A and B are shown apart, each in its own frame.
Chain A
Amino acid sequence: MRLIVVDDEPLARGVAREYLAAHPDIEIVAECANGFEAVKAITELAPDLVLLDIQMPKLDGFEVAELVGGKTRLIFATAFDQYAIRAFEIHALDYLLKPFSQERFDKALAHARASLASALPRQEAAVREAAAARDRPLGRVLIRDGAKVHVIRAEAIAWIEAQDDYVQIHAGGKAYLKNGALGELEAQLDPGRFLRIHRSYLVNVEHVARIEPAGRDSHAAILADGTRLPISRSGYQKIRGAMQ
């Protein structure tokens, strides 16, 4: 079994290494000290199992889980007990409370071995569902680009365009492709800031400079950088209300 250890504390990684020494069938393929490294390593190395800390710099454990989209099984290891329910909602295999004993760790591994045969898709769907059901609007959007991860603050996003199975996110003069539907992202972002002005366009109201008529019965939104976005009839009602 191939495993990745993710923890920002070297000593905590040391404990995991020590406990794992008792399991010769498990190979540690990588050790990561933050969320970025973890996403990169999980994407590139496709391990069977990840021992994941939650409070980490850059990306926390749940953001890592969201980005790798259930491509691996997770065991959380943290000193915080308040995230346990959230962890099981995304079908984590186990939730270890630091400090934990070798026996407790062995049990978690035994559980992992037993369930590794079971299908991953269920977990994948659960991760997506949990991300969509978050009650707070997203403050930042995570985009995985191969093994690279972009973290984009919601304020910086000017507009988002639907493209088949992808969305194109425009922020700071750059465009990023992200998996998923526009409606899904719309549901997660702050509805006071992001308006669906068209079937294919979600716009950040704060980046809209003005609305111009375009043709006899249609309008266009002009963004601060000069971009023109079409506005549908129902979108016009929404944006007019928001801009007043």
Chain B
Amino acid sequence: MSWLTRARRGALLYLLAWLIVGAVLGGMCAIVTSAPPANALLFAIPGTLVYGVAAGFSAYYLCRANPLGARPLALVVLALCTAAVLAAFMWLAVLGGWNELCLAAGVRWAGIVQTPLLSALLFALGTLLYGLLAAINYLAIESGRARNAERRELESKLMAQDAELRMLRTQVDPHFLFNSLNSVSALTSQDPKGAREMTLRLAGFFRRSMGMAGHPRITLAQEMDLVRDFLAIEKVRFGERLVTEEALEKGALDCLVPPMIIQPLVENAIKHGIGQLTDGGLLLVAAWRDGARLSITVSNAIDPEMPETRRSGTGLANVRQRLACAYPNESTLEWKREGETFSVEIRLPAQAATTEANDSGA
């Protein structure tokens, strides 16, 4: 409804503008042909209003059909000029016809003498007005496009925030916490030292993960500290079933990554992979630098007979989305299942910790 009223108001304003143009034109006619003002106004205003509507629609569709930059400029200019000349001719014909009608009516206050000079002036004015309309249309289209781009940028920012929020929500899996607390509860009587060790690991894990939430980037070394705390806790729970290994290249450890980007992969690997195996298996985290790219893989043993779980998709999708927000078009996440191994590889631009500091300072 509001759109309708707004559209109506716009149309009224538009017609009002043309009414003014018509009045000015009428004044001009009165001067050029020295006709009485009433005759001149009656001659100019109706035709001008008709022209306003017709040329307005024509220019609007012509501009929409030929967006700037999409077609050669010369072609667009040629089309517009042709349309302007044609429109001006038609306008002239309409004004002339109306004037004939007025003259035929034979009343004193209607009809003027249409001199060639007036016709030439009217024609020139018609083309000019048409050109003006086209220019206004292009301006409106461009500003609309700019507004759209702005909105899209805002939307993608919101999406990034949303992903960040989801990350914060998922970073502490409540079941991980409850299972760990159950282990602590078991250890308190069986192995008090172990219980203390586990409590310290848990505290370390939570302190680190909470501290990371505020940082857009951390070094891979910091992320691996968190992952190690997490794995140490899970090892207490799973015992010998969980075997972990790291293959981290030295240069890779100084690279920056979004916080909590490997942890969910490792968590998935345990939940859907090793946790489903009676005898457990190996979980490998590897990272290496390959020129300007940093590659990180997390691979784990899986039960080859297990049907592919759809659930594992959400964790991966979350990491993929966060990567896409952090490095638009510069990061990839791929996963593959080969026999008894499942592996996820992420590739992102390798940024060393020092260059990032310079970037943020600049």
In the complex, whether B239 has a CB less than 8 A from a CB of chain A is: yes
Which parts of B294-322 form the interface with A (CB within 8 Å)? Answer: 303, 305, 307
- Interface range on chain A: under 10, 10 to 19, 20 to 34, or 35 or more? 20 to 34
Establish whether residues B178 and A18, one from each chain, have CB atoms under 8 Å apart when the complex forms: no
In the complex, whether B186 has a CB less than 8 A from a CB of chain A is: yes
Write the A202-242 contact mask toward B (1 if CB under 8 angstroms, else 0): 00000000000000000000000000000000000000000
User: Which one, A8, A11, A139, contacts B186 given CB within 8 A?
Assistant: A11
Which parts of B241-282 form the interface with A (CB within 8 Å)? Answer: 241, 275-278
In the complex, whether A80 has a CB less than 8 A from a CB of chain B is: yes
Chain B proximity of A8: nearest CB distance (Å): 8
User: Which one, B190, B275, B277, B307, contacts A14 given CB within 8 A?
Assistant: B190
Establish whether residues B307 and A139, one from each chain, have CB atoms under 8 Å apart when the complex forms: yes
- Interface range on chain B: under 10, 10 to 19, 20 to 34, or 35 or more? 20 to 34
Which residues of A sit under 8 angstroms from B115, Cβ to Cβ? none
Establish whether residues B305 and A57, one from each chain, have CB atoms under 8 Å apart when the complex forms: no
A11-B307 contact, Cβ under 8 Å, with A36-B278, A58-B276: no
Chain A proximity of B345: nearest CB distance (Å): 26
In the complex, whether A15 has a CB less than 8 A from a CB of chain B is: yes
Establish whether residues A9 and B238, one from each chain, have CB atoms under 8 Å apart when the complex forms: yes
Establish whether residues B307 and A99, one from each chain, have CB atoms under 8 Å apart when the complex forms: no
Which parts of A1-46 form the interface with B (CB within 8 Å)? Answer: 8-12, 14-15, 18, 33-34, 36
- Measured CA separation A98–B189 after assembly (Å): 16
Establish whether residues B175 and A80, one from each chain, have CB atoms under 8 Å apart when the complex forms: yes
User: Which one, B179, B239, B278, contacts A58 given CB within 8 A?
Assistant: B278
In the complex, whether B236 has a CB less than 8 A from a CB of chain A is: yes
Establish whether residues A57 and B278, one from each chain, have CB atoms under 8 Å apart when the complex forms: yes
Which residues of B sit under 8 angstroms from A153, Cβ to Cβ? 305, 307
Which residues of A sit under 8 angstroms from B275, Cβ to Cβ? 8, 55, 57
In the complex, whether A125 has a CB less than 8 A from a CB of chain B is: no
In the complex, whether B237 has a CB less than 8 A from a CB of chain A is: yes
Establish whether residues B237 and A11, one from each chain, have CB atoms under 8 Å apart when the complex forms: yes
- Measured CA separation A139–B185 after assembly (Å): 36
In the complex, whether A113 has a CB less than 8 A from a CB of chain B is: no
Establish whether residues B239 and A98, one from each chain, have CB atoms under 8 Å apart when the complex forms: no
- Measured CA separation A191–B181 after assembly (Å): 43
Establish whether residues B183 and A57, one from each chain, have CB atoms under 8 Å apart when the complex forms: no
Which residues of B sit under 8 angstroms from A34, Cβ to Cβ? 278
- Measured CA separation A10–B241 after assembly (Å): 11
- Measured CA separation A36–B277 after assembly (Å): 12
A12-B307 contact, Cβ under 8 Å, with A36-B278, A79-B175, A97-B178: no
User: Which one, A55, A99, A151, contacts B181 given CB within 8 A?
Assistant: A99
In the complex, whether A193 has a CB less than 8 A from a CB of chain B is: no
Establish whether residues A10 and B175, one from each chain, have CB atoms under 8 Å apart when the complex forms: no
In the complex, whether A140 has a CB less than 8 A from a CB of chain B is: yes
Which parts of A54-97 form the interface with B (CB within 8 Å)? Answer: 55, 57-58, 79-80, 97
Which residues of B sit under 8 angstroms from A139, Cβ to Cβ? 307
Q: Which residue of A lies closest to B280 (CB)?
A: A57
Which residues of A sit under 8 angstroms from B179, Cβ to Cβ? 9, 79, 98
Establish whether residues B182 and A11, one from each chain, have CB atoms under 8 Å apart when the complex forms: yes
Which residues of B sit under 8 angstroms from A140, Cβ to Cβ? 307
In the complex, whether B187 has a CB less than 8 A from a CB of chain A is: yes
Interface centre among A10, A34, A36, A151 (most CB of B within 10 A): A10
- Measured CA separation A14–B190 after assembly (Å): 8
- Measured CA separation A29–B296 after assembly (Å): 47
Which residues of A sit under 8 angstroms from B278, Cβ to Cβ? 8, 33-34, 36, 57-58
Using A79-B179, A99-B181 as known contacts, list a sample of 17 further A-B pairs with CB atoms less than 8 Å apart, ordered by residue number in A: A8-B238, A8-B275, A8-B278, A9-B239, A11-B186, A11-B187, A11-B237, A11-B239, A12-B186, A18-B189, A18-B190, A34-B278, A36-B278, A55-B275, A57-B277, A79-B182, A97-B178
Chosen A-B contacts, 30 in total, with CB atoms closer than 8 Å, are A8-B241, A8-B278, A9-B182, A9-B237, A9-B239, A11-B182, A11-B186, A11-B236, A11-B237, A15-B185, A15-B186, A18-B186, A18-B190, A33-B278, A36-B278, A57-B275, A57-B303, A58-B276, A58-B278, A58-B303, A79-B175, A79-B179, A80-B175, A97-B178, A98-B179, A99-B178, A139-B307, A140-B307, A151-B305, A153-B305
Residues of A in contact with B (beta carbons under 8 Å apart):
8-12, 14-15, 18, 33-34, 36, 55, 57-58, 79-80, 97-99, 139-140, 151, 153
